[in-house]
Structure 1
Amino acid sequence: MNSNLTMINIPLVEDISNDSGNNLIQNLRSILGVQSVEIKTNNNDISISFDGRFLSLSSLKIGIERAGYTIKSTNLTLNITGMTCGACVNHVETAIRNIPYTLEANVNLATERANIQYIENDSTESSDFIEAISSAGYSAAMPGNYSQEVDRLNKNDELRSIKNRLAVSFLGSMFIFLTSMHFLPWHPITSSIPYLEIYCLIIATIIQFWCGYSFYTSGIRSLIALAPNMNSLIIIGTSVAYGYSVFLTVINTSFFNPSISNMFPPYLFFDTSTMIITLIIMGKYLETIAKVKTSQSIRQLIQLRPTTATLLRNDEQIEVAINEIKINDVILIRPGEIIPIDGTILSGFTSIDESILTGESLPQDKGPDSVVYTGTINFDGSITVVTTKNVDDSLLSQIISLVEHAQGSKAPVQILADKISSVFVPGILAIGFLAFLGWGLFGPSPQWIIASTAFISIIIIACPCALGLATPTAIVTSTGKAAQLGILIKDAETLEQLKHIDTIVFDKTGTLTEGNLEVSSIESTSLHKDKFLKIAASIENHSEHPIAKAIVQHARTKNIVVEDVTDFRNHPGLGVTATQNNKSIIMGNLQFMKSFNLDVPELGTVATRVYLSINDEFVGFLTLTDKIKESAAYTIQTLKNTGKNIILASGDNQQVVEHVAEQLGIQQYYSQITPQEKFSLITDLQSMGRKVLMIGDGINDAPALTQSNISMAIGQGSDISIEASKITLLRPDLMSILDSIKLSEVTSRIIKQNLFWAFFYNLLLIPIAAGALYPVFSIINFNPTNLSFIFGDTGFLNPVMAAFAMAFSSITVISNSLRIKNFNP
């Protein structure tokens, strides 16, 4: 029996039919490593036997999804502490993936979070992942409530702890430095202080083990787990300097024969070990402050949610916790208060500041039946609101979840960087030991002191932290900035790919036009206009299409009450059919009418027409008009100027589509196109090598949106589906499309700069730390005495400068990422 085979039962969301089940089996059996597949129709499970050497559960997931099925899975988010570099990210992800039933594991160094997806089963619990992460040398915990999450992102406790350790470390290291440096003018005085070496030993010990406590706890656990990280490098380097200095200090006491101490070079490294720890703590302090700034956007969103609301019940005003509010409760919102939960205004008139959600600077006038959203600010009047959402289902909660998901996701380039980081630390240790042996055996005198200096410098200067932070800090800052602009980006890969888009396919209604269709006229051959409208609205009342909503709304303004219909059927891109009072009703566009061989007049117009027939007899049509958005022409022209290929694809009639295309300067357009034909258009473009951005309403264009390289939905508030597309624009202003692309380009440029710096820094300074300049200085007969604070007296890099360079590297990467906050479209 093959010991590498794994047997697993995978539950599916959908019911398994015979035909699709055979397709599923074929899909899975075609994957390398799958040995057998069995469908259990009684409980909707599939049993798969596979070779774990060749594939993972994530590969099986892809095969299952290609067959049209979805795995029943659970999503888990954990807060991770103790990570310092990209190697840590790889170690935590490996620990998570080793838990059975794990589908995906994404760990983000910048947000210090792990997003986990695992198959629903009876044996796997969240505690299993927490224990696995702990065994790998890190700590994990479930996220707290919103208030606790704000505290975590503010990092006040962490900053306070670092500041205390930094103060002690700085004062102690400065004392050792100022009393130990031979080139300082007061050295003759300080060298005569009784028991100075003992004082330095005590101070260095406090700094090493109290100030550097966090380095030891993380570094030692990682070493025990055979997964060394940056803290492992720090404790190895500083412990060598500290340990050798302690040894020399002890053997120089009166308890030992002087002949023993004379066997060793009289070089103490207390100043080196303490200054290294001080500089690294200082770098950690500045890095943490910078990380807090990168999370500013998500903290602002979280803090928008009030903790209480004024509930109206039995003519009384009751202040209750926001979590106690239920759907259909009536709440009172006074001027200046924040809207606590999504709802519809019952009474009152006011203006609402929605800028935090949509980026729209002007307040929006609101009255009865207007929708209001959590986190927006009530300006003028008191209003009563009927709640329509639970706290966790509000638009603000959806935005927060989406931003958190995007910030926790990984760009493809980050996956490569994390893999490099995973082998970086062991590689640095190997280089350090080789340099130590090389200079110890063959270097200039004093060989082993110089060898130790080179070893410490290499271990300290290597910075996997910069490599690990290069991409996630840019992604976190960028997605947060996008949210401030009313742009919701689903994941890091979308943000990275957006700049590569060369073709943009626009839907018309609600995208290039205002989408506020209005019935402008009704023409009928045999019915009164009100009767005609009553029949049309009764049928369209069952549809969610913008044209249907416009017809129903027009009927309401006429106080026309709709009637029930039966056998309603929607024909996407064409029209609808139904039965009313035993009469067969057909409504739709000209193409739909002709498919029933109806004699319908062809009227040249730039307006939208909806035709109506009763019992296969044409009875008239409605004319609807829409307005092109003010920002459409500029946006289209700007996109064309940047080399983008623009296409208009609409289900509307040819005259309307042609008119819009002509007004906007779009040469390639398609009219009366069905959702399936839009899907085919996208696939045809992709077969020609095009990178396609599809912009639609997220409902009728679902197949095309799913197929496109990147999908984008434009709308306002809850009128759009955040889950429907990879990018959601909360404002209807088309200028946001340009902002999205510009932000993608800026972010990509920042990531490239960060990665270049991280690689360049290590490639340049590690050889210098290893002593590469010593033979150069020897050949050109250069004495680096004037640069002794950098290279000492021999041309070998001072370990203290190595610590400074390492701290500077991480701060540089984060500071560069923070420049995205200044992005101004």
Structure 2
Amino acid sequence: MFTLIALGAGVAWLFSLVALFFPAIFPHQFRTHQGTVYVYFEAATVILTLALLGQLLEAKAHQRTTTAIKELLKLAPATATKIVGNKETTVSITEIVKGDLLRVKPGEKIPVDGSIKEGDATIDESMISGEPLPIDKNSGDMVRSGTINSNTTFIMTAEKIGSETLLSRIIEMVNTASRSKAPIQKIADRLSGYFVPIVVMISLITFIVWAIYGPEPAYVYAMVNSISVLIIACPCALGLATPMSVMVGIGKGAQMGILIKDAESLEKMNSIDVLIIDKTGTLTEGRPSVERVVSVDPHVGEENLLRKIVALNSSSEHPLARATMKYGAEKGIAAEPINLFKAVSGKGVTGKLGTDQLALGNKSLMDQLGIAIAADLQEMVSAEQKAGKTVSYLSINKQAAGFVVISDQIKPTSRSAIWSLQNEGLKVIMYTGDNSNTAKAVSENLHLDGFQAQMLPEDKLTEIKKLQASGKKVAMAGDGINDAPALSQADIGIAMGTGTDVAIQSASITLINGDLSGIVKARALSKKVMSNIKVNLLFALGYNILGIPVAAGILYPFSGILLSPMVAALAMSLSSVSVILNALRLKNTNI
């Protein structure tokens, strides 16, 4: 970037140095009426001073682009109150280990990620989720580092510390993304690569034209104008056009609860044609609750059926499993040890309780295990599914013994978010492992553009590949381990921050609040950033296109105007500052 400045200032300085000690070697065109040679020490000095001044102004403006990261760093508390036996001591957060009990008092920041062990709380999570309303938390609920406890005291168990906490991961993702390059940056890089040698050629041509056709002292005019061309054409602003907008845009996203893994994802988000969404935890709350357990075996009562379901699900991390565990706890049923547990991805779980071989899952699992389902049982289940409920069959020793009915409320913002995305021309399609009846009920409720049910992880992956092969740009939104392959394959993987770590690691964008409205905001942010980059490139290129002819002296024959190298240096510096100031406008944009 500084090749042209170095050439311009260096030529002026070396010329002046030779003129000072060996004036006799110069032709008369370079001499004054007193016989001395024109020197440009002050011009070279002022050029470098103005270039450094521009860098200082640029650095000051650049500092403002990292505000988001600085604000995130401030969220992490330095100390915590640790409970050891009956004593409470204040310790540094670096001394906290997993399993420690910590007391969080009203108004304090939560030191690490964990779950509430005793007490209730109202937590302000706006600093990491972007949502202004505090959230009520109860015993067993997760709390995050950096969020603020409002008005009660509670005891929490430390579960994620140091770099494992959500706040630390957010800071790392924002830092990494800010340093990454958007594809559009490659255009600027290529332009800069061609630009410098072209400007050097223009500078030489300027010198030759002025030396031949310029007024006396022709060589002096030729030198001053060729140096002005070198300096004013410095493509610093061109190099700053993309990274500044990306840095501010990614910081803005972090403040809204949208974590963007790299600049390429931010750019691509603007060109997505199809959005694929999972159901549980993405469209729905992801906090399913058991409505009832139904037994169809006269030898197995509903309580006994629930006991077996709780035992099976005690080894599973699926949201539906957690719902049955919670329901069992409310009924006073403790989980019994299960043997030979196995999770069948997209279908359910199997295991052995005592002498009973158990299987809990959808019809695909029952079919896989060769378990027959009576017509009346199938009819009962279909009725529940048509109402949008999720139903899991339980088989005992290869006999269908009953089922559990689970409902999961659609998120309040899902309808409006889907409507907004469809209005932008996106097709929104649901891929779910749930049955066709439930999927159809949800799809019709939300007016989706289509759905596919009873899909395994590999099925989702295959369908996304087909869409991409047809020329579609595909985004995939999901929250579970089973969504990870599809999230990785999609052009843009979007993970719900309320989902699993595997899904978040596989995704390009993470929505901290787990809300589909975040996708609408991410697209709006992408559009704003890309528009800002284009304006920056226009500023940088337009400035050079206008500045180079003026510096070469094209106005001189008509108006007698020539551009001093010092003025060219000032204009070059201000062009870089103007690009950064334009990028900073993103901080205050409404999304």
Q: 1:540 pairs with 304, 309, 313, which one?
A: 313
Note the alpha carbon deviations across 1:173-221, whole angstroms, 9 max, x for none.
xxxxxxxxxxxxxxxxxxxxxxxxxxxxxxxxxxxxxxxxxxxxxxxxx
Residues 1:598 and 2:372 are matched in the alignment:
yes
Aligned residue number for residue 801 of structure 1 = 567
Residues 1:621 and 2:403 are matched in the alignment:
yes
Q: 1:654 pairs with 433, 436, 441, which one?
A: 436
Alpha-carbon contact 1:395-1:718 (below 8 Å) kept: no
Alpha-carbon contact 2:182-2:242 (below 8 Å) kept: yes
Note the alpha carbon deviations across 1:652-674, whole angstroms, 9 max, x for none.
12221111111111241112222
Alpha-carbon contact 1:251-1:260 (below 8 Å) kept: no
Point out which structure has higher relative CO (alpha carbons under 8 A, 6+ apart): 2
Please state how far the C-alpha of 1:429 moved relative to its aligned partner.
3.4
Aligned residue number for residue 821 of structure 1 = 587
Segment drifting more, 626-635 vs 585-594: 585-594
The 1-side partners of 2:365 and 2:139 are apart by 38
Task: Map residues 408-557 of structure 1 onto 2, 5 A cutoff.
Answer: 408-525=179-296, 526=298, 527-557=300-330
Q: How many residues align?
A: 574
Q: Output the amino acid matched with 1:602.
A: Q
Note the alpha carbon deviations across 1:705-734, whole angstroms, 9 max, x for none.
222111111243877843131111011332
Alpha-carbon contact 1:743-1:823 (below 8 Å) kept: no
Task: Map residues 49-60 of structure 1 onto 2, 5 A cutoff.
Answer: none
Aligned residue number for residue 369 of structure 1 = 140
Aligned residue number for residue 166 of structure 1 = none
The 2-side partners of 1:449 and 1:430 are apart by 19
Note the alpha carbon deviations across 1:664-695, whole angstroms, 9 max, x for none.
11241112222222122212212221111111
Please state how far the C-alpha of 1:265 moved relative to its aligned partner.
6.2
Aligned residue number for residue 699 of structure 1 = 481
Alpha-carbon contact 2:5-2:234 (below 8 Å) kept: no
Residues 1:562 and 2:335 are matched in the alignment:
yes
Distance 1:717 1:682, change over 3 A: closer
Q: Output the amino acid matched with 1:524.
A: S
Alpha-carbon contact 1:520-1:623 (below 8 Å) kept: yes
TM-score (norm 1): 0.66
Aligned residue number for residue 530 of structure 2 = 748
Residues 1:400 and 2:171 are matched in the alignment:
yes
Alpha-carbon contact 1:714-1:720 (below 8 Å) kept: no
Note the alpha carbon deviations across 1:346-373, whole angstroms, 9 max, x for none.
3333322111111111112234323221
Aligned residue number for residue 128 of structure 2 = 357
The 1-side partners of 2:102 and 2:360 are apart by 41
Distance 1:636 1:296, change over 3 A: same
Aligned residue number for residue 709 of structure 1 = 491
Q: 1:772 pairs with 544, 550, 554, which one?
A: 554
Q: Output the amino acid matched with 2:330.
A: T
Please state how far the C-alpha of 1:504 moved relative to its aligned partner.
0.9
Please state how far the C-alpha of 1:704 moved relative to its aligned partner.
1.7
Segment drifting more, 598-607 vs 701-710: 598-607
Aligned residue number for residue 125 of structure 1 = none
Please state how far the C-alpha of 1:544 moved relative to its aligned partner.
2.0
SS of residue paired to 1:801: helix
Alpha-carbon contact 1:340-1:374 (below 8 Å) kept: yes
The 2-side partners of 1:577 and 1:381 are apart by 42
Note the alpha carbon deviations across 1:140-166, whole angstroms, 9 max, x for none.
xxxxxxxxxxxxxxxxxxxxxxxxxxx
Alpha-carbon contact 1:338-1:378 (below 8 Å) kept: yes
Residues 1:739 and 2:521 are matched in the alignment:
yes
Aligned residue number for residue 783 of structure 1 = 559
Alpha-carbon contact 2:487-2:503 (below 8 Å) kept: no
Distance 1:416 1:554, change over 3 A: same
Task: Map residues 68-79 of structure 1 onto 2, 5 A cutoff.
Answer: none
Alpha-carbon contact 2:62-2:580 (below 8 Å) kept: yes
Distance 1:742 1:719, change over 3 A: same
Question: What is the alpha-carbon root mean square deviation over aligned residues?
Answer: 2.4
Identity %: 40
Aligned residue number for residue 26 of structure 2 = none
Aligned residue number for residue 636 of structure 1 = 418
Q: Output the amino acid matched with 2:565.
A: P
The 1-side partners of 2:118 and 2:353 are apart by 36
Please state how far the C-alpha of 1:759 moved relative to its aligned partner.
2.1
Aligned residue number for residue 588 of structure 1 = 361
Alpha-carbon contact 1:339-1:376 (below 8 Å) kept: yes
Distance 1:717 1:264, change over 3 A: farther
SS of residue paired to 1:685: helix
Q: Output the amino acid matched with 2:316.
A: S
Please state how far the C-alpha of 1:751 moved relative to its aligned partner.
1.2
Note the alpha carbon deviations across 1:522-563, whole angstroms, 9 max, x for none.
110232222111101111222222212211221122221112
The 2-side partners of 1:627 and 1:452 are apart by 75
Unpaired runs of 5+ residues, structure 2, are 24-29
SS of residue paired to 1:741: helix
Alpha-carbon contact 1:265-1:446 (below 8 Å) kept: no
Note the alpha carbon deviations across 1:619-645, whole angstroms, 9 max, x for none.
111111111111111111111111111
Alpha-carbon contact 2:47-2:569 (below 8 Å) kept: yes
The 2-side partners of 1:517 and 1:488 are apart by 26
Alpha-carbon contact 1:513-1:628 (below 8 Å) kept: yes
Q: Output the amino acid matched with 1:352.
A: I
Task: Map residues 2-151 of structure 1 onto 2, 5 A cutoff.
Answer: 85=1
The 2-side partners of 1:706 and 1:428 are apart by 44
Please state how far the C-alpha of 1:430 moved relative to its aligned partner.
4.1
Q: Output the amino acid matched with 2:585.
A: R
